[in-house]
Structure 1
Amino acid sequence: MTRWVLHVDLDQFVAAVELLRRPELRGRPVVVGGDGDPTKRGVVSTASYEAREYGVHSGLPLRTAARRCPDAVFLPVDREAYDEASREVMAVLRELDAVVEVLGWDEAFVAVDDDPEGTARLIQRRVRESTGLECSVGIGENKLQAKMATGFGKPAGVFRLTGGTWSEVLGDLPTDALWGIGAKTARRLAETGIRTVAQLAAADPQALAARYGPATGPWLVRLARGEDDSPAVGTPYVARSRSRETTYQQDLDDWDEVRREVARLARRVAGDVAAERRAAARVVVKVRYAPFVTRTHGEALVEPATDAAEIEGAALAALDGFTERRPVRLLGVRAEFTRE
């Protein structure tokens, strides 16, 4: 195994791409989301650092963002532009003599044998010169440490986190600061008196296994200790799913209409699945009730399929799992591919 893992994370990626196209907006609060109209329903895709100072963040309703930061510039989402910028950055990383594992649009792991700080600075310089974008780089002895380190290097910095410094840096932080632990798991841990990373690291793995399962319990403890034996792999990034969703400007009160909309979204997703030439194994439906409560239900396909009728049928079956017939503001359908 290589000695060091670098986590390269593009700073405020979507906003940064927009600022390259609109340099006159530098220094101003910029919010990207929906069609760029904050009077309509939609959510923030990303916000510039200036907008974040007002409490604007990804997933926030655009209308709320406009109230928090009335001077912000709102821009529509342009996925093609972000795809192209991402491809350019990943091409720069692949020019290195190193294993590159792409995680998505704006982040990747890079495995190196020595001089991690020097390589990190080289990456930052090459990405900046080639694309005009800035990135932060976390350095660790494994992927988990590198991923956690990046947050301490932002923006445009480099930070090293190792087994020797892990507890000092992270020990007093809440458990949901860890990569892989969300608010729900953090609440469940807090119910047992485990609130910090240090407390979780000191927990008995077998006791947690009894509560969270034989695999999840010990994994939570390893996570809190900064332990990760998964290698960086250079296989091409492959999307795990395809999805479509729609935010409605007027709530859908009629659940017959909700059913028709889910069927419509499912057919669009089926078209995306067919284009991928990969089979879907599971279909998930997302419902966001008014005012802003989100629920999901999934339905596994009997056999992996690309057929539109089967994907639509699974989506409608998943929709049947929603027992509340409240007004709906957003619907989404996601097809999850088989693992290859």
Structure 2
Amino acid sequence: MPRLKKNYTTFNISRLSPMNTPSRRIAHLDMDAFYASVELLRYPELRGLPVVIGGRMDHRPVRLADGSLHFSRLHEYAGRGVITTSTYEARAAGVFSGMGVMKAARLAPHAILLPVDFEIYRHYSRLFKTAVARITTQIEDTGVDEIYMDLSDLPDDTPTLAQRIKQAVRDATGLSCSIGITPNKLLSKICSDLEKPDGLTILGMPDIPNRIWPLSVRKINGIGPKATQKLASLGITTIAELAQAELNFLQIHFGRSYAIWLSEASHGIDTRPLISNTEPKSISRETTFERDLHPRYDRPALSEFFTALCKRVAADLQKKGYAGRTIGIKLRFEDFHTVTRDVTLATHTADPISIRRAAGECLKRVPLKKKLRLLGVRVSALATIHSLPTLNTSPQQELLLAPCSPFPASE
């Protein structure tokens, strides 16, 4: 059992820093079951049904002769895919993101299976973020379906402002979101998940003992599965029990810096500022194959995947206005061993042919003797295109003229 603090139930508000004061209004907005909700806009006939997003594009709905759509079912799937997300009805059957599709099929065999369509998800992501930006420009973009906002300087009262934001998102997308508003990012992230879907949670520091401490430690963003398991082995499963543990006890098991963070997080203390202008460090694309591919015998398929990844990374760079100097690859073999290689060019590029050529050179530095389960391409050392001399970006169809496949030829 952990050593306990004395009188831990007394909340020590004097520990608050200027970045953690009750006058700050930091909001976390999280779209509700985002990918699944976007799909339900396209296929409203699926509302109220268990729907799972994952698998291959050949599971797209098929238009039948009578005009109706045929949807694939989970029990029809065979492969190694992973669930990206699911509707709340599917979650009620135990199907969650990160679960293998085959395992999900055993839990909900008749659930609808739809493939992931990142292009449309990014479209709706831009729509909701643009709508919010008309209300506040103090936005930290943290993912396709979530953002932080600093509402401290806006004149509206907090409930009115929150409803205004929620309505703006709904008007722009037809989708609902959940919002948590507290004095800092850590608490707001927790609170946006408390009343899903279409939730709103407004919390002050004095509310922590009643609203936050009864929750599981895994609700704190930054406490992952391994830390949760280790805390449980020490008799700590709730945030209250974590807040009760002595700092010295935590340091013995987690080290000084993480122990201090655990203690502060359990008391709702978070001094991180909102970062409204973030620059990406790298842009990458990767794919996990439905079956392990042999570098020699599956050379045509691997070459096709490789070229497609380079084209997509180049398109992402050009769309976002960046070019990079360091080109890298990521390989995961059938035994889950993962290797990376990279090369730094003399000049920045957003050219698909240049990226493919450099990534191909990286591939040649890896012994390709085992089957592959994952292939990725990454561009880093980024600079904005407008800050560089004019770049030549080849039309993507010219990749047909690029160097031959870097994978070994069949004997």
Instruction: Give the TM bin, normalised by the shorter chain.
Output: 0.7 to 0.9
1:151 to 157, 170, 193: 193
Partner residue in 2 for 1:189? 231
The answer on 1:91 being equivalent to 2:125 is: no
Instruction: Answer whether contact 2:286 2:377 (CA < 8 A) is retained.
Output: yes
Query: Structure 1 residues 69, 149: closer, same or farther in 2, change over 3 A?
Result: same
Instruction: Answer whether contact 1:44 1:59 (CA < 8 A) is retained.
Output: yes
Q: Matched residue of 1:151: which SS?
A: coil
Greater Cα shift, 24-33 or 35-44: 35-44
Cα distance in 1, alignment partners of residues 245 and 298 from structure 2 = 46
Cα distance in 2, alignment partners of residues 124 and 62 from structure 1 = 33
CA deviations on 1:190-218 (whole Å, 9 max, x unpaired) are: 44444332233344445545654443332
Corresponding letter in the other structure for 1:170: I
2:374 to 327, 331, 335: 331
The answer on 1:43 being equivalent to 2:82 is: yes
Corresponding letter in the other structure for 2:140: E
Query: Structure 1 residues 302, 144: closer, same or farther in 2, change over 3 A?
Result: same
Partner residue in 1 for 2:219? 177
Corresponding letter in the other structure for 1:201: A
1:227 to 262, 269, 275: 269
- Report the alpha carbon displacement of residue 127 of structure 1 after superposing the two structures with TM: 1.2
Instruction: Answer whether contact 1:286 1:331 (CA < 8 A) is retained.
Output: yes
Q: Matched residue of 1:92: which SS?
A: helix
CA deviations on 1:79-108 (whole Å, 9 max, x unpaired) are: 111111111011101001341111111111
Cα distance in 2, alignment partners of residues 229 and 69 from structure 1 = 43
Cα distance in 2, alignment partners of residues 165 and 316 from structure 1 = 58
Corresponding letter in the other structure for 1:333: G
Alignment of 1:1-340 (within 5 A): 3-34=24-55, 35=57, 36=59, 38=74, 39-41=77-79, 42-113=81-152, 115-205=157-247, 208-209=250-251, 211-235=253-277, 238=280, 240-248=282-290, 250-252=291-293, 268-275=308-315, 276=317, 277-280=323-326, 284-286=330-332, 295=336, 297=338, 299=340, 301=342, 308=356, 311=359, 330-333=373-376, 335=378, 337-338=380-381
Cα distance in 2, alignment partners of residues 59 and 301 from structure 1 = 29
Query: Structure 1 residues 338, 220: closer, same or farther in 2, change over 3 A?
Result: farther
Cα distance in 2, alignment partners of residues 213 and 309 from structure 1 = 44
Partner residue in 2 for 1:292? none
- Report the alpha carbon displacement of residue 298 of structure 1 after superposing the two structures with TM: 5.3
Corresponding letter in the other structure for 1:40: A
- Report the alpha carbon displacement of residue 315 of structure 1 after superposing the two structures with TM: 6.4
Instruction: Answer whether contact 1:98 1:112 (CA < 8 A) is retained.
Output: no
Instruction: Answer whether contact 1:263 1:316 (CA < 8 A) is retained.
Output: no
Query: Structure 1 residues 132, 62: closer, same or farther in 2, change over 3 A?
Result: same
Cα distance in 2, alignment partners of residues 219 and 259 from structure 1 = 48
Corresponding letter in the other structure for 1:30: V
Greater Cα shift, 230-239 or 89-98: 230-239
Greater Cα shift, 153-162 or 217-226: 217-226
- Report the alpha carbon displacement of residue 240 of structure 1 after superposing the two structures with TM: 4.6
Greater Cα shift, 164-173 or 189-198: 189-198
Query: Structure 1 residues 223, 308: closer, same or farther in 2, change over 3 A?
Result: farther
Instruction: Answer whether contact 1:299 1:315 (CA < 8 A) is retained.
Output: no
Q: Matched residue of 1:128: which SS?
A: helix
Q: Matched residue of 1:187: which SS?
A: helix
Identity %: 31
Corresponding letter in the other structure for 2:289: T
CA deviations on 1:158-212 (whole Å, 9 max, x unpaired) are: 0123322223223233322211111112223344444332233344445545654
Cα distance in 1, alignment partners of residues 332 and 239 from structure 2 = 32
Instruction: Answer whether contact 2:329 2:375 (CA < 8 A) is retained.
Output: no
CA deviations on 1:209-248 (whole Å, 9 max, x unpaired) are: 5654443332222222221111222226747541211332
TM-score by length of 2: 0.68
> Across the two proteins, how many residue pairs are aligned to each other?
328
Query: Structure 1 residues 183, 331: closer, same or farther in 2, change over 3 A?
Result: same
Instruction: Answer whether contact 2:359 2:377 (CA < 8 A) is retained.
Output: no
Q: Matched residue of 2:119: which SS?
A: helix
Cα distance in 2, alignment partners of residues 90 and 179 from structure 1 = 22
